[in-house]
Amino acid sequence: MLRTTQRKGKQSAPLHNTRRGGWGGGETDWTNCKARGLGQIYVLNQIFQPTGFSFILAGADRQVIGDLAPVWYGNAAEAQIKQYRVGGIQTLNFYIVPQVAYSHAGIFPWDAANNTQRDGVVMGRQYIPGGSASGTNTGKVGGHEAGNWLGLLHTFQGGCDGGDEVDDTPPEASPARGCPWVRDTCPAEGRDPIHNHMDYTNDACRFQWPAGQIERMHNMWTLFRGNDAEDPGHGGGSWE
């Protein structure tokens, strides 16, 4: 279980682990899985240390769903894993699954406000620490998705004419991949924010939260998830 500590108090959520073929290694297999989950939370705390948010692993659960398809918004696989969801809109449910249709996904808080049941972060297990995704297996993908969960848009949102609604992240025409030395895809002032956690670069390249993003996370928390926010229960919603 994860607890998220923020200025207004503490929140908690389970860490859900789902496999198709069972836990063939028995308790040793499960112990290793929990250790990797703990590693993910350790990385989240490193990533979010400048922001005022922190995370505590307080427990985990495991399931076997033999016919689990790649998870995507609105499909049967999403419903299968999210039947185990607990808590309200302040609860970060972190799902580790064999495969996500787009590798990983975090629900924005304004979408969660209309559908608490679909709220949370879904991760392919290859992206958590020790996973098989070379270059993106140290836990920073989880930090990116938690950023979505806290209300951050991608740095390339809307391309050069759009923006992430944060003044101190320069616009970016498209996602950056790998770890480019320098990149400038828009005519506006400033080079692409390739070191920002909300871009798509490799883990080694992502390490920045500008002040505007930190402010936005706290504003979004207060508006949608904070202690005074209303938990509306289940409803519509969308997937990111």
Active site residues: 145
Torsion of CA 97, 36, 61, 54, to 10 degrees: -100
* Rounded Cα distance, 125 and 128, in Å: 6
* Rounded Cα distance, 192 and 24, in Å: 45
* Rounded Cα distance, 100 and 69, in Å: 8
List of residues 6+ apart from 74 with CB closer than 8 A: 239
Distances (CA, A) of 52 to 4, 29, 37, 47, 167: 10, 34, 21, 11, 20
